[in-house]
């Protein structure tokens, strides 16, 4: 069986998704289901945001 290509999400989409998760009060699993995303992707983006690495270039983007 041929594997499907992994979806690519824009940086803006990732940032908006993390913002939605933080403001929604939903659990990670609930938010991922509501957004039709793999929970692992959302988990990784939230972790990166907490580390200050969600923006392109990571911590170097902080001015």
Predicted confidence (pLDDT) per residue in 12-21, tens digit: 999 999 999 9
* Cα 32 to Cα 2: distance, rounded to the nearest angstrom: 25
The domain spans of the chain are: 11-51
8/29: higher pLDDT: 29
Of 21, 57, 53, nearest in space to 37 by CA:
21
Work out the average pLDDT over 34-63. 81
pTM across the whole model: 0.77
Of 2, 62, 10, 1, nearest in space to 41 by CA:
10
57/35: higher pLDDT: 35
Structure tokens at 28: 């990670």
CA angle 32/34/35 to nearest 5° reads 65
């Amino acid at each position: 069986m041929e594997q499907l290509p992994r979806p690519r999400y824009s940086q803006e989409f990732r940032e908006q998704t993390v913002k939605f998760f933080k403001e929604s009060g939903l659990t990670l699993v609930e938010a991922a289901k509501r957004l039709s995303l793999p929970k692992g992707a959302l988990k990784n983006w939230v972790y990166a945001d907490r580390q200050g690495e969600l923006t392109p270039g990571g911590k170097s983007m902080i001015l």
